[in-house]
Amino acid sequence: MRLLLYLNQRTLRAVIVFAFSIFCIIGFGHVEPAFGKDDGVTSIFSPLAQPAQEIKETSLLVLAVCTVIFIVVAGLLVYALIRFRHRAGDEASEPPQVYGSNQIELAWTVLPVLIVFVLILVTSRTIANIQNRKPPQGTVHATIVGHQWWWEIRYPELGIVTANELHVPASDETGSRPTFLKLQSADVAHSFWVPQLAGKTDLIPNKENLMWIEPTKPGTYLGNCAEYCGTQHARMLIRVVVHTPDEFDHWVRDQQQATSVATNAAEGRKAFFANSCVNCHTIRGTSAQGKFGPDLTHLMSRETLAAGAAPNTTDNLRLWLRDPQRIKLGCLMPNMQLTDQEVDQMVAYLQTLK
Ligand code: CUA
């Protein structure tokens, strides 16, 4: 009786843990970002691009096979537990002892081997399809460098450098325009993951990884760094903005312009260049050529600050300059001890960087 009670408690606990895990997997897969007007979700179950679609199809096949195996094994287990349970009057007799059965042993060896073999073939085909893709005419090439804790994004052929928001064209009936990505890291291992577009790929120091994405639906897609990389790993968000081909070409032309010399924020400009901001940040067309932090040439074209940690608003920009640690504790931008006046002037200058 006591054993039964103990078993029941354990079973109950197991059921609760199992139910909670399922809730987490389904529930958290659809959690909206902390802020933003985005329609994007971070779910692998609603892919809107290749190769995410192909990966999902393979996953569903694997999931289906595993579900069938689970139902058969759990069903047999439950059947045996009930059918051969201990009954009153069983005490003295021992059940018949059976040693070996060629049929059963063959069955439970050959069947799993076949199942594993099929899964290996299907998975290999998917991996080969994805990895062996050659960039077609019209491909956009970008290099993404992981930093603690932000993403540097370069388009070497287009002469564009930006951060945290990757802009790509969508493929449509007029043609295929995938984006091929070279992934690198400036410090530790990171992982690029935008669930609706593709699987995860790591960014490893001293190694270059490759991946590609080919979305067909314009919109904003959200992703995270998926490899623990230090204090602010959780606030290393990435957005991929997918444009129609025309919009994308327009975006490229905007980004290629050097910043226009601001006439209305001379004080702020002076403050920016008098402080050590220039050692870490680049503003194209000026003497600011630092490489350690994000390129600020078109800062105001970005929706967020600090890799998605806060929306890019005047108030947040002010807070960020006053003390970056208030928005992103542990981030590598120091508190420059600016006065309120300097902060206001510098924000006015930064807001000219459109
Ligand atoms: Cu970068 Cu986690």
As a whole number of angstroms, the distance between CA 204 and CA 91 comes to 63
pLDDT: is 99 or 64 the higher one? 64
As a whole number of angstroms, the distance between CA 32 and CA 39 comes to 9
Atom of ligand 1 at shortest range from CA of 146: 1
Residue 37 has pLDDT above 50, yes or no: no
Rounded to the nearest whole angstrom, what is the distance from the C-alpha of residue 231 to the centroid of ligand 1? 9
As a whole number of angstroms, the distance between CA 78 and CA 44 comes to 33
Mention every residue, 6+ apart, whose C-beta is less than 8 A from residue 59.
44
As a whole number of Å, the end-to-end CA separation of the chain is 74
Best CA proximity match to 181, nearest among 202, 196, 195, 159? 202
pLDDT for 54: 92
Rounded to the nearest whole angstrom, what is the distance from the C-alpha of residue 244 to the centroid of ligand 1? 29
Atom of ligand 1 at shortest range from CA of 229: 2
Rounded to the nearest whole angstrom, what is the distance from the C-alpha of residue 24 to the centroid of ligand 1? 22
Question: Is 188 exposed, middle or buried (CB count within 10 Å of its CB: 0-12, 13-18, 19+)?
Answer: middle
Q: Is 230 left (phi over 0), alpha (psi -120 to 50) or beta?
A: left
Residue 32 has pLDDT above 50, yes or no: no
Query: What b-and-e string marks burial along 248-269, b requiring 16 or more CB atoms within 10 Å of the CB?
Result: beebbeebeeebeebeebeebb
Is residue 159 within 8 A of residue 204, CB to CB? The reply is: no
pLDDT for 29: 45
Inter-residue long-range contacts of 322-328, CB under 8 Å, 24+ positions, other chains counted: 328/149, 328/232, 328/235
pLDDT: is 181 or 21 the higher one? 181
* DSSP for residue 170: P
pLDDT for 30: 41
As a whole number of angstroms, the distance between CA 256 and CA 315 comes to 28
Q: At what angle do helices 52-83 and 102-131 cross, to 10 degrees?
A: 160
Inter-residue long-range contacts of 270-274, CB under 8 Å, 24+ positions, other chains counted: 271/338, 271/342, 271/345, 271/346, 271/349, 272/346, 272/349, 272/350
* Average pLDDT of span 289-316: 84
- Give 336-350 as a DSSP string: ----HHHHHHHHHHH
Mention every residue, 6+ apart, whose C-beta is less than 8 A from residue 146.
152, 183, 184, 185, 186, 187, 188, 189, 190, 192, 203, 225, 229, 236
Nearest CA to ligand 1 atom 1: 190
Residue 5 has pLDDT above 60, yes or no: no
Query: What b-and-e string marks burial along 291-310, b requiring 16 or more CB atoms within 10 Å of the CB?
Result: eebbbbbbbeebbbbbbbbb
Atom of ligand 1 at shortest range from CA of 233: 2
Cis ω before 218 (30° cut-off from 0): no
As a whole number of angstroms, the distance between CA 166 and CA 307 comes to 11
Each residue's pLDDT tens digit, 216-242: 999 889 999 999 999 899 889 999 999
As a whole number of angstroms, the distance between CA 348 and CA 235 comes to 26
Residue 7 has pLDDT above 70, yes or no: no
Rounded to the nearest whole angstrom, what is the distance from the C-alpha of residue 107 to the centroid of ligand 1? 46
Atom of ligand 1 at shortest range from CA of 234: 2
Give the predicted TM-score (pTM) of the model: 0.78
pLDDT: is 124 or 260 the higher one? 124
Tokens of 99: 């040693």
Q: How far is CA 283 from the centre of its chain?
A: 28
Rounded to the nearest whole angstrom, what is the distance from the C-alpha of residue 185 to the centroid of ligand 1? 10
Residue 28 has pLDDT above 60, yes or no: no
pLDDT for 292: 87
Ligand 1, pocket residues at CB < 6 Å:
146, 149, 190, 225, 227-229, 233, 236
* Average pLDDT of span 152-161: 92
Residue 351 has pLDDT above 50, yes or no: yes
Q: At what angle do helices 266-274 and 340-350 cross, to 10 degrees?
A: 110
Atom of ligand 1 at shortest range from CA of 203: 1
Is residue 168 within 8 A of residue 240, CB to CB? The reply is: yes
Each residue's pLDDT tens digit, 122-155: 999 999 999 999 998 889 999 999 999 999 999 9
Is residue 295 within 8 A of residue 284, CB to CB? The reply is: yes
Best CA proximity match to 283, nearest among 274, 293, 202? 293
